[in-house]
Structure 1
Amino acid sequence: MDNAPAEAFNSTLKVEYVHRQHFATRAEARVKIATWITGFYNVRRRHTANDGLPPTVFEELMLDKRKATTARYAEAKVA
């Protein structure tokens, strides 16, 4: 598995936000970083890695597929 996207995101987070801030507490850092991520991460942008779907739509589809697979596995196990 390729970690490049996660590493690139973490690098951007650190360079563009964390290193430019001073946080009084860990709790403050968590809230401000989460807020920055929410503003930075475009959940509507289409991604070629997701068959042209926005991340939230792709994740919902994957969750539905996992639920269906788990249900079929459970039914097969009972039978």
Structure 2
Amino acid sequence: MAAFIVTQRDDYRVPHATSCRALGVSQAWFYKWRHVIRYGDASPRHARREQLKIAVGQWFAKHHRTYGSP
């Protein structure tokens, strides 16, 4: 949906606020999405989740993909 909002701005010069209002999403959500796409998510929560994703993947591989969830 955010990509659609960006497209409307680029192709038709529709302001982000107008698109957000028409689609029923908050401007804050749109701008947060845009920031994450440009700069990545450097939050501690995101970093921790990435570490957990790696650890779970290693554990799953260690047990020959037979224990737990991928």
What is the TM-score with the length of structure 2 in the denominator? 0.37
